[in-house]
């Protein structure tokens, strides 16, 4: 049985910043556990893009608090959510996809659940909205030569 969000939060809150970043860098968590870990990291103001396993004992100073995760948009197909997620990550905006497995396994629940959510830290929301708007307008799309 998978632990609940409260259980994960309790476990992660007991860890030091270095321990959290070590878990983050291993990239072995389930998507759900990774999202909860992300919330804890963001709430502590740790910037994971500037801290990689490079022998540092502490993250760089001056880390910003990016705020809680907020929903940028939703899709009924997980692949569309992942396309947006990868586009955001290409611009150094942390992005996460939620509910994709439930929706994929039980697609008929998609309307009731609101679809597959793409979430970003609140501090990145304005930049993420601009990228989403550009994608929806076709800016940056590849034209067919024919």
Rg (CA), the chain: 17
Task: Report the predicted TM-score, pTM, of the whole model to 2 decimal places.
Answer: 0.54
Using alpha carbons, select from 69, 130, 61 the residue that is nearest to residue 94.
69
Lowest-confidence range among 14-23, 49-58, 60-69, 117-126? 49-58
Q: What is the mean pLDDT of residues 67-95?
A: 91
11, with CB counted inside 10 A (0-12, 13-18, 19+), is middle
- What is the average pLDDT across 107-133? 87
Q: What is the pLDDT of residue 83?
A: 94
Q: Summarize pLDDT for 41-66 with one digit per residue, the tens.
A: 777 777 665 444 444 434 333 334 56
Residue 18: which of 50, 56, 67, 49 has the closest Cα? Answer: 56
**How confident is the model at residue 85, as a pLDDT?**
94
Which pLDDT score, from 0 to 100, does residue 132 have?
95
Higher pLDDT, 60 or 82: 82
Average pLDDT over residues 18-25: 76
- Examine the pLDDT at 134 and tell me if it is beyond 80: yes
Burial class, 72, CB count within 10 angstroms (exposed 0-12 / middle 13-18 / buried 19+): buried
8 Å CB contact between 44 and 81: no
CB atoms inside a 10 Å sphere around CB 14: 8
């Amino acid at each position: 049985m998978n632990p609940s969000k409260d259980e994960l939060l309790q476990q992660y809150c007991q860890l030091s910043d270095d321990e959290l970043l070590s878990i983050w860098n291993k990239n072995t968590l389930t998507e759900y556990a990774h999202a909860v870990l992300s919330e804890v990291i963001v709430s502590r103001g740790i910037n994971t893009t500037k801290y990689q396993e490079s022998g540092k004992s502490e993250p760089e100073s001056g880390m910003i608090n990016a705020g809680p995760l907020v929903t940028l948009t939703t899709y009924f197909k997980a692949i569309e959510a992942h396309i947006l997620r990868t586009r955001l990550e290409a611009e150094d905006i942390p992005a996460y996809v939620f509910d994709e497995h439930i929706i994929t396994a039980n697609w008929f629940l998609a309307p009731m659940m609101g679809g597959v959510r793409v979430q970003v830290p609140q501090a990145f929301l304005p930049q993420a909205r601009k990228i989403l708007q550009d994608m929806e307008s076709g800016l940056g799309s590849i034209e067919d030569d024919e």
